Amino acid sequence: MLAFTVFWAYISFSQYFIIWNANIPEETFWYVLREKGTWNQIGKYVIILGHFFLPFLMLLRIDWKLKLTIMFPLCAWAWVMHFFDMSFNILPAGRPDGFSFRWLWLDLGCLAFIGGLLTKVFLKNLNTHPAFPQKDPRLAEGLDVYVPSASAGKTAPSPGGAK
């Protein structure tokens, strides 16, 4: 998830940088419209801070990545931020004051309907197509996950192992 967060930021900034530096009026008008009204606030605070910096800083620590109580809300947060990112990229900037929250309920309702439908299809097919390979002899070895010990980092192991 850390790699995807950094990759998203790289691609988004590269797109902005290339289009803005090309200075072609047919391309840059989109960014000019997005720098006014509520689109400006969504672009600066919601997308840059919420979609990149918060997940990036939280995903730097390996012990946080191993805790479901941190990762599940972070994944939900990333999903909500992706909704704002797609809204920023797709919705028209036809209003002079920026983003209109009038029809937001319809967008969220469509997302909930499609998400519920896909979840139903996934759960229905989960019994016939399991998530784990059923007859893999090395499955237990593959499920061995790194768990930091309480004494991690206190003493360095001796070269060649313990003797």
Residue whose C-alpha is closest to residue 78's, from 54, 61, 111 = 54
Environment class of residue 81 by beta-carbon count within 10 Å: exposed (0-12), middle (13-18) or buried (19+)?
Answer: buried
- For residue 42, being part of any structural domain is answered with yes
Say if 149 falls within a structural domain. Answer: no
Q: Is 151 contained in some domain?
A: no
Look at residue 96 and give its three-state secondary structure.
Answer: coil
Higher pLDDT, residue 26 or 119: 119
In a domain, 50, yes or no: yes
- Domains identified in the chain, total number: 1
Separation of alpha carbons 43 and 127, rounded Å: 42
Could you tell me which residue, 23 or 117, shows the higher pLDDT?
117
Q: For residue 134, tell me if it sits in a domain.
A: no
Residue 132 lies in a domain: no
What is the mean pLDDT of the segment spanning 145-149? Answer: 61
Residue 120, domain member (yes or no): no
Name residue, tokens 């989109």: 30
List, for residues 17-38, the tens digit of each pLDDT value.
998 888 888 888 888 888 877 8
Domain that includes residue 21, residue range? 2-113
Residue 129 within a domain: no
CA distance 66 to 61: 9
Q: Are 42 and 88 in contact (CB under 8 A)?
A: yes
Q: What is the reported pTM?
A: 0.64
Q: Are 59 and 5 in contact (CB under 8 A)?
A: yes
